[in-house]
Amino acid sequence: MIAIVDDDLEIADALKTWLEMLGRATTVHDSGESLLAWLKNNENKASSPVNISRCLDAAIFDINLPGINGIQLATKLRVKFPALPIILVTALRHDEIQSLGDLPSGVSFMRKPFDLDIIESILFESLN
């Protein structure tokens, strides 16, 4: 399962269509809070911690989100999923991103407008 978080539904929808064409299941959310709630829900259903980490294979999200921003979301996810491939997409420049705070390890960046082929290669490289 790949999580997509973007408050712009047009972009979230395109990512979902793309990943589904590649044969991947997706869960789409419009805010970090929504994804965290979804995870909590799954956590309650799951019988063991191993299964929890299995419910998410990768996450793609925007930095500019309503509520907690993408970097805060990445930091929170990293605690639960130390090896989770995370791709942050943003229209911000690198120096602007740095001003947002410390980034957790293993996070990839994509500038908008992004190339889906590159997202695909990053994603599947880390998944394999």
Partner 1 sequence: MPLVSINLFNIPTSFIIIGLLYLIVPFMTWIVLNGQRSSLVSLWCGGGFFMGSAFLLVGFRGSIPEWASYTFANGLLFVGYLFRIQCLRLYLTIPAWRISWMVFASLVFIMVFQVIHSGMNDSLLRLKFVTLYNAVMNIMITVLAWRIGRRYVSSNAYFIFGIYFLTSLVILGRFVELFKGTVTADTMIASVMTVQIGIIGVMSSIATHFGYIGMTLDRLIRNETKVKTDKLAVIHQSQQVIAQLDRQRSLGAMSASLGHELNQPLTAILANAQIAKEGINKGLLKPFQLQNILEKIIHNTRRANLIIERIRGFIRPAALEIDLVQVGKLVRDTAKYIKGDALIHRVAIVFDLDERELYVKGDAIQLSQVLLNVYRNAIEVLQHEKLRKLIISVELIKDLIIITISDTGPGFSEEELRRVGEPFYSTKADGLGLGLSISKSIIDQHGGEFLISNNENGGACFKICLPAIYH
Contact between 115 and partner 1 (CB under 8 A)? Answer: yes
104 preceded by a cis bond (ω within 30 of 0)? no
Among 92, 104, 122, 126, contact with partner 1 (rule: CB under 8 A): 92
Contact between 101 and partner 1 (CB under 8 A)? Answer: yes
| Structure-block tokens of residue 45 | 């259903």
The dihedrals phi and psi of 124, each to the nearest 5 degrees, come to: -80, -25
Binding part of the chain for partner 1, among 26-34, 38-46, 48-56, 91-99 by CB under 8 A, reads: 91-99
Q: Is the dihedral of CA 90, 31, 105, 121 positive or negative?
A: negative
In the complex with partner 1, which residue's Cβ is closer, 34 or 69? 69
